[in-house]
Amino acid sequence: MNRIILIALAIFLSTQVYGQTEFDTYKNGLIYSETTMNKLGQIVDSLNLKYKVCDFNKLFKSKRQTIGHIVRLDTNKIKQAKKDMENNISFEEFIAKYPDAEVDRNVLIIKYKYKNYKEKEVVEFSEVDLNSNYGFEISQDNDNNLYNKAMKDSWLFDYTEKSKYSKESIKAFYFPEDFKSIPITLKYNRQIGYSECLIDTVATKFKDNAKEGWVDLPKNWQALSEKKKVKLLDEMRSTKVVGGCSQDSRPREHAINIAMLSAETANWEVFLKSHLDIMNDRFDRMSDGSYAYEKRKTYIKELEELDINVLDLLIGISLRIENPAENHYYGSIGRIGRAISESKDKNEFITQILSMIEDKELDNYNRILSYFLFVSCNNYIENETEQKTNLKLLEKSIMTLPVYLKSRINLTTE
């Protein structure tokens, strides 16, 4: 019984600790002191000329996307269906031959190329599910340059053999048309360019071959010499912190320590990447539960206090493109939406996001991402009247989407 009481007490104390404010704030109401903010302001002022001569003429293109069909079959003649797909049977012939197949027509499909943990190049084909995070996807090695292969009138399938754990089944994409990428329109092109300019894509937050560990920030760190601060920052950038669980705050603490030292040593590139990682909650954890998200704030106010265009920055890292710079920073749609809900310029953000949903010159994938961004922002707005007003605006914008997209959106405006 005593052991049970001790365990219960430990759980209670831990919830009390984690229920407190995530980071200490200073008299200015920010997580960075007035001294640090002044130094950041000086850095921004000194770099303004650099931003003005950035290459805003680079033409960005949308992610490759297409409209396709999804087929699922787990009863009758599955091996024959697999063989027919390998022989590239037409879609209509397949549907007629296999009436038991579950068919989902006209879905938006995106393809990505990345390297897995073995450093092998992989291509992922993903359905853009408009109502959940569980869209159908297939990943394959990029053998024979699969990423650039023409896919029109072809199948891509995932076959599962029968086992004691699962039924024999086959799931597949059918592509009536090839994947296409279109130019991003000028306004959004400049916002992406601004984000790449502001977030230096040459510098990285961590150094090559950084090792897992932890580096303490001394209590008197601000009194250290410039040389010692630079050395300490170098040690922190050579160390990656992996969270043990949802309640492990060390990865975010490590990031704010890097951000503060970067500000003190006039290292803008590393500061901004560290702060954006905190905003986007971009950290490695062994496990992470949704219950832990709420206490992780976005700290958009700290960026708004500096002389940068936060609206262009956040929209720029929200858009998905085919030809980014090597270290281009992509923001989390859910986290950026939350940050926008806390922004002093929230109404300006909302106006632009709605216009992006309605913009027929913008590719469909980015229009849908704009929809998700709006929904995320609105979900974090505390005023219910404002939420309902926004939902009505969103409903009007959704009506401008292609039929195959708007027909799939389940939006409650009551």
Please name which of 7, 381, 332, 319 lies closest in space to residue 185, comparing C-alpha atoms. 319
**Spatial CB neighbours of 157, under 8 Å, sequence gap ≥ 6:** 82, 85, 138, 170, 171, 172, 173
Helices (H) and strands (E) in the chain, counts: 15, 8
pLDDT tens, position by position, for the chain (414 residues)? 444 443 343 333 333 333 345 888 999 999 999 999 999 999 888 877 455 556 667 899 999 999 999 999 998 899 999 999 999 999 999 999 999 999 999 999 999 999 888 889 999 999 999 988 789 999 999 998 999 999 999 999 999 999 888 899 999 999 999 999 999 999 999 999 999 989 988 888 999 889 999 999 999 999 999 999 999 999 999 999 999 888 889 999 999 999 999 999 999 999 999 999 999 999 988 777 665 667 788 999 999 999 899 999 999 999 999 999 888 999 999 999 999 999 999 999 999 999 999 999 999 999 999 999 999 999 999 999 999 999 999 999 999 999 999 999 988 655
Return the pLDDT at 344.
96
Burial 93-111 (b: 16+ CB within 10 A, else e): ebbeebeebeeeeebbbbb
Return the pLDDT at 1.
42
Measure the CA–CA gap between 139 and 126, rounded to whole angstroms.
9
Query: Vertex 53, ends 234 and 352: CA angle to 5°?
Result: 90
Return the pLDDT at 291.
59
Per DSSP, the residues of 46-82 read HHHHHHHTS-TT---BBPPEEEEEEEEE-SS-HHHHH
Please name which of 337, 340, 269 lies closest in space to residue 304, comparing C-alpha atoms. 340
pLDDT in tens, 323-360: 998 889 999 999 999 999 999 999 999 999 999 999 99
For 244, which DSSP code? Answer: S
C-beta separation of 367 from 242 below 8 A = no
Return the pLDDT at 50.
52
* Count of other CB atoms within 10 angstroms of residue 114: 11
Measure the CA–CA gap between 96 and 254, rounded to whole angstroms.
58
H or E element, residue 126: strand 121-127
Measure the CA–CA gap between 104 and 71, rounded to whole angstroms.
6
C-beta separation of 78 from 168 below 8 A = yes
**Residue the block writes with tokens 């986007």:** 280
C-beta separation of 195 from 321 below 8 A = no
Return the pLDDT at 16.
37
C-beta separation of 55 from 195 below 8 A = no
Q: How remote is the C-alpha of 75 from its chain's centroid? A: 37
Measure the CA–CA gap between 22 and 114, rounded to whole angstroms.
33
Return the pLDDT at 68.
98
Q: The tokens of 155 are what?
A: 């199948």
Return the pLDDT at 47.
77
Q: Is the dihedral of CA 379, 382, 388, 391 positive or negative?
A: negative
Percent of the chain predicted with pLDDT > 70:
91
